[in-house]
């Protein structure tokens, strides 16, 4: 089983608010791998918008991603890119 992990900095001025959290959760749902997002000792399901919002991750927050499954590396790379986006149009 493939495993992948990464650490990413939230780039959005408004942090991981509802719109990017929604995009993130939808994209996570397209992968077969089990994907979690971590902040400190707390890990949440990457497919749950409410769980992502519960992290209250503001700009500059370092979040960890971990995935286990056949597309783990691809998932971590794509989801990490969403976290690091600085644009507000999404």
Q: Which are the catalytic amino acids?
A: 17
Other CB atoms closer than 10 Å to residue 12's CB: what's the count? 20
Identify whether the C-beta of residue 59 lies closer than 8 Å to the C-beta of residue 13.
yes
Distance (Å, rounded) from C-alpha 12 to C-alpha 67? 23
DSSP string, 33-64: SEEEEEETTEEEETT-HHHHHHT---TT-EEE
């Amino acid at each position: 089983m493939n495993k992948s992990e990464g650490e990413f900095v939230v780039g959005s001025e408004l942090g991981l608010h509802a719109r990017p959290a929604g995009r993130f959760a939808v994209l996570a749902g397209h992968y077969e791998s089990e994907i979690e997002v971590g902040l400190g000792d707390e890990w949440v399901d990457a497919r749950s918008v409410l769980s992502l919002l519960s992290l209250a991750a503001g700009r500059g927050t370092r979040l960890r991603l971990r995935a286990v499954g056949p597309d783990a590396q691809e998932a971590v790379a794509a989801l990490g890119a969403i976290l690091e986006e600085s644009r507000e149009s999404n």
